[in-house]
Amino acid sequence: MRIHWVALAALVVAIAGALAVQGLLHRASPGQDAAARAVATDEVPSAVTRGGPVVDAAPAKPQTAAPHPRSVALTFDDGPDPRWTPEILDILREHGVHATFFVVGNAAIEHPGLVRRIVDEGNEIGVHTLTHVDLGGIPEWERSLELGTTQRVIAAAAGVTTSLFRPPYSSTNAAVSNSAWAAMRTAGADGYLSVLSTTDSRDWTRPGAESIVNVPLREGDAGQILLMHDGGGDRSETVAALDALLTRLQGDGYRVTTVGEAVGLTQTMTKASTVDAAAGSVVIAGATASDVLVTALVWMLALSGIILIVRAVLVVGAAIRHVRRTRVDLGEWRPVIAEPITVVVPAYNEAAGIEAAVRSIAASTHDVEILVVDDGSTDGTADIVEGLALPRVRVIRQANGGKPAALNTGIAQASHELIVMVDGDTVFEPDTVTRLVQPFADPVVGAVSGNTKVANRGGLIGSWQHIEYVVGFNLDRRLFDVAECMPTVPGAIGAFRRSVLARVGGVPADTLAEDTDLTMAIGRDGWRVVYQEDAIAWTEAPATFGALWKQRYRWCYGTLQAMWKHRGAVTERGAAGKLGRRGLGYLLVLQVLLPLVAPAVDLFALYGLFFLDAPGVIGVWCAFLLVQLLMAFYAFRLDRESPKALWSLPLQQFVYRQFMYLVVVQSVFTALAGTHLRWHRMERYGSLREPARR
Partner 1 sequence: MTPGQVRPRTRAEARRLAPVFVDRSGRRLRRIRILVGGAIAALAAYIVLAVASLLGVPAVQSPLLPQPAAAQPAPTPIATPTPEPPSPSPTQAASTPGPAPGPAPSPSSIPVESSPAVASVPVPSPTPTPSGTAASPAPADRGSSASAPGRTKAPTPPGKP
**Which positions are catalytic?**
77, 229
The least distance separating partner 1 from the CB of residue 170, rounded to whole angstroms, comes to 18
Give how far Cα 536 sits from Cα of 274, 316, 472, 632, Å. 74, 21, 14, 19
Q: Cβ closer to partner 1: 519 or 561?
A: 561
Q: How far is CA 166 from CA 76, 181, 200, in A?
A: 10, 12, 14
Q: Is residue 675 near partner 1 by the rule CB under 8 A?
A: yes
Q: Does residue 330 interact with partner 1 by CB under 8 A? A: no
- List of E strands, 242-326: 255-257, 269-271
Chain-centroid distance, C-alpha 290: 15
Q: Which phi-psi region, left, alpha or beta, contains residue 690 (left: φ > 0; alpha: ψ -120 to 50)? A: beta
Nearer of residues 275 and 328 to partner 1, judged by Cβ: 275
Binding mask 170-199 for partner 1 (x = CB under 8 A): ------------x--xx-xxxxxx------
Is 40 among the residues that bind partner 1 (CB under 8 A)?
Answer: no
Q: Alpha carbon of 663 to those of 15, 541, 554, 558, 657: distances in Å? A: 20, 17, 9, 12, 10
140 binds partner 1 (CB under 8 A): yes
* Residue 545, phi then psi, degrees to nearest 5: -65, -35
Stretch that binds partner 1, among 90-98, 139-147, 434-442, 547-555 (CB under 8 A): 139-147
Nearest to 136 by CA among 269, 27, 30, 8: 30
Candidates 31, 46, 61, 332: give the one binding partner 1 (CB under 8 A).
61
> Reduced to 3 states, what is the DSSP secondary structure of residue 460?
helix
CA angle 6, 10, 11 (to 5 degrees): 115
Q: How far is the CB of 203 from partner 1 (least distance, A)?
A: 28
Give the helix ranges, DSSP H, for 566-647: 574-578, 585-586, 594-611, 614-638
Is residue 395 within the footprint of partner 1 (CB under 8 A)?
A: no
List of E strands, 330-411: 341-347, 368-375, 393-398
First-last CA distance in the chain: 43
Length of the chain: 694
Q: Considering the rule CB under 8 A, would residue 215 count as an interface residue with partner 1?
A: no
Q: Is 147 in the site for partner 1 (CB under 8 A)?
A: yes
Residue 673 interacts with partner 1 (CB under 8 A)? yes
Nearer Cβ to partner 1 (173/561): 561
> Residues 75, 408, 452, 456: which binds partner 1 (CB under 8 A)?
408
Q: Which of residues 286-305 bind partner 1 (CB under 8 A)?
A: 286
Decide if residue 145 touches partner 1 (CB under 8 A).
yes
**Chain residues 259-288 in contact with partner 1, contact rule CB under 8 A:** 260, 263-268, 270-271, 273-276, 278-280, 282-283, 286
Q: How far is the CB of 424 from partner 1 (least distance, A)?
A: 18
Give the Cβ contact number of residue 195 at 10 Å.
Answer: 29
Alpha helices in 530-573 (DSSP H): 545-565
Least distance CB 590 / partner 1 (angstroms): 21
Interface residues for partner 1 in 535-594 (CB under 8 A)?
557, 560-562, 564-565
Asked if 537 and 451 count as a contact pair (C-beta separation under 8 A), the reply is yes
Q: Closer to partner 1 at the Cβ: 624 or 669?
A: 669
Binding mask 64-93 for partner 1 (x = CB under 8 A): xxx---------------------------
| Residue choice 75, 85, 131, 162 for contact with partner 1 (CB under 8 A) | 162
Residues 501-540: x where in contact with partner 1 by CB under 8 A, - otherwise, as a string = xx--xx--xxxx----------------------------
Closer CB to partner 1, 312 or 677, in the complex: 677
Is residue 49 within the footprint of partner 1 (CB under 8 A)?
no
Residue type present at position 642: S
